[in-house]
Structure 1
Amino acid sequence: MLPALIATDVDGTLLDADELVTPRTKAAVRAAVDAGTTFVLATGRPPRWIPPVVDALGFAPMAVCANGAVLYDSATDRILSAKTLSVDLLAELAEVATRVIPGAGLAVERVGRSAHDAATPQFLSSPDYEHAWLNPDNTVVSLEDVLNAPAVKLLIRKSGASSADMAAALAPHIGLEGDLTYSTNNGLVEVVPLGVTKASGVDEVARPLGIAAGDVVAFGDMPNDVPMLLWAGLGVAMGNAHPDAKAAADEVTTPNTDDGLARVLERWWL
């Protein structure tokens, strides 16, 4: 099978340990794109965190962001679509999250018309929200202000906790209201609208192009990649992947630190 579309996660998959695209991976991706293959980023990242990836790749692909909730055209810097959690649903989810996970802090991701739409405050967190990564770009506001407008993603964070344990505790309460997942095991769980996954986001790109799931090769490393790995004709987990991602994949390649993505693409290109 010569894939018609490549869909890849970013962190832990396309990028190496230094958050770079290695020369080998860049060459393999470039060869596929030059041959006419569609290349799509599928990430938990918001659109505003896509430009560094574009710079590393050397071209601007379509990006499925926020675990499938946002379709972002990085070439034109336009948000093409966004699926949101309503204000009423955010209030329900916040009540459940803080009751089931005592001490959890909450944050939301919103999008405007472009990656850095100044008219839309994009990453809002409550005062007790502790970040799971370095160099956060949030705005601290009251919990009421966090929840007062629709959002593409709700983030539930408890420092020192396990994301897997948090997700297991929340699933019975949230599973019928939103899609619950995580991309790090560092005490951070993410909720997007029900039915929204990386698979649904990539399908939103592929379908108008006449590309079926069977013609897609997808790469990932964490539980938020599982729906996409199951959906794609060929789902590839990285050697460094979470056990759930490996179990969902058709095959496991080498880690992101050893050009795992490139090694698969080189079967068809280069």
Structure 2
Amino acid sequence: MKKAVFFDIDGTLWDFKMNIPESTKKALKELRKNGYYAFLCSGRSRSNIKSPKLLALGFDGIVAACGTHIEFEGEKLFELLLTKEQIGHILAVLRKHQIPMVLEGPNYIYVDEKDFVDDPYVIYLRNELGENLKSITGTAQYEVNKLSAELGNADVELVRKELGTEFDMIVHEPDGILEIGQAGHSKASGIERLCASLGIAKEDTYAFGDSANDVEMLEFVAHGIAMGNGTDVAKNAAEFVTTDIHKDGIWNGLKHYGLI
């Protein structure tokens, strides 16, 4: 059976300045040369996975937006969008608590720019996405897989309660970034769906991650690998902890399992 390796992006394949170690580039090349699948598996929406240098690493497919957008060899296999009513409910709750938000979809990212004056993330989005960044206006029908938000001083448990059980919410510490999506969908569910489509056995799955939204993925696959620079919650969920991203973490992790 063919083995499949799933890679988170931020803090795993590249650092938070989007620098990709040379050893990571070499490792991905060797992995695919050896006949194994390599997949991106990210909380980012597909519209925010555009970097030529990232895609140039060579991937067989993409699991994006916490499992709600799946591609294989350029073909879309699965897409789950929030309904207009779901989006309206989430926006109402977040605005009630004065929480700035970003709506993330397969083609566009929507942001209420007045809530993000000189925010570094929105500046990055403007530079990276260009015309793929849109403003939130009125009650338009948006194509959205998930949302991200800045918690600030809001009560996270109250927000969770008001959103209701229809949605899952991941809190990234210590920066207070929220990810909100449909309950029951995650990187793990995306991996499961993709593997079912391709006939990949669970015992042949591996994943690299570094943060809270990687936990389900690291626990689901047969071999979860946390980056040495990752959070404690990711490391606790992993079978193996490799070295830091800039200390050949991807190379060493793949080498540990005999994949390169």
Task: Work out the CA distance in 2 between the residues paired with 1:175 and 1:245.
Answer: 26
Moved more, 235-244 or 90-99: 90-99
Deviation at 1:35, TM superposition (A): 1.4
2:208 corresponding residue in structure 1: 219
Cα root mean square deviation, aligned:
2.6
Aligned partner of residue 216 in structure 2, secondary structure? helix
Deviation at 1:216, TM superposition (A): 0.9
User: TM-score normalised to the size of structure 1?
Assistant: 0.81
The gaps in structure 2 that reach 5 residues or longer are 127-132
1:11–1:200 Cα change, 3 Å: same
Instruction: Kindly provide the CA deviation profile for residues 194-235 of structure 1, in whole angstroms up to 9, marking residues without a partner as x.
Output: 211001112222112221322211111111111101101111
Contact 1:126 1:143 in 2 (8 A): no
Task: Work out the CA distance in 2 between the residues paired with 1:201 and 1:109.
Answer: 17
1:227–1:215 Cα change, 3 Å: same
The gaps in structure 1 that reach 5 residues or longer are 113-121
2:149 corresponding residue in structure 1: 156
Give the % identical residues: 25
1:37 corresponding residue in structure 2: 36
Q: Which amino acid aligns with 1:204?
A: R
Task: Work out the number of aligned pairs and report it.
Answer: 250
2:103 corresponding residue in structure 1: 108
Contact 2:28 2:58 in 1 (8 A): no
Deviation at 1:143, TM superposition (A): 5.0
Task: Work out the CA distance in 2 between the residues paired with 1:196 and 1:168.
Answer: 20
Task: Work out the CA distance in 2 between the residues paired with 1:108 and 1:184.
Answer: 20
1:61–1:48 Cα change, 3 Å: farther
Task: Work out the CA distance in 2 between the residues paired with 1:246 and 1:169.
Answer: 28
User: TM-score normalised to the size of structure 2?
Assistant: 0.84
Moved more, 38-47 or 220-229: 38-47
Task: Work out the CA distance in 2 between the residues paired with 1:218 and 1:166.
Answer: 32
Task: Work out the CA distance in 1 between the residues paired with 2:210 and 2:145.
Answer: 22
Task: Indicate yes or no: 2:129 matched with 1:129.
Answer: no
Which of 70, 81, 87 is the equivalent residue of 1:84?
81
Contact 1:223 1:244 in 2 (8 A): yes
Deviation at 1:12, TM superposition (A): 0.1
Aligned partner of residue 124 in structure 2, secondary structure? coil
1:141–1:171 Cα change, 3 Å: closer
1:199 corresponding residue in structure 2: 188
1:71 corresponding residue in structure 2: 70
Task: Work out the CA distance in 2 between the residues paired with 1:91 and 1:269.
Answer: 46
Alignment of 1:1-270 (within 5 A): 4-16=3-15, 18-52=17-51, 55=54, 57-73=56-72, 75-76=73-74, 78-99=75-96, 102-112=97-107, 122-130=108-116, 131=119, 133=121, 134-137=123-126, 138-145=133-140, 148-158=141-151, 161=152, 167-174=156-163, 176-182=165-171, 185-267=174-256, 268-270=258-260
Q: Which amino acid aligns with 1:214?
A: E
Moved more, 34-43 or 201-210: 201-210
1:37–1:54 Cα change, 3 Å: farther
1:3–1:17 Cα change, 3 Å: farther
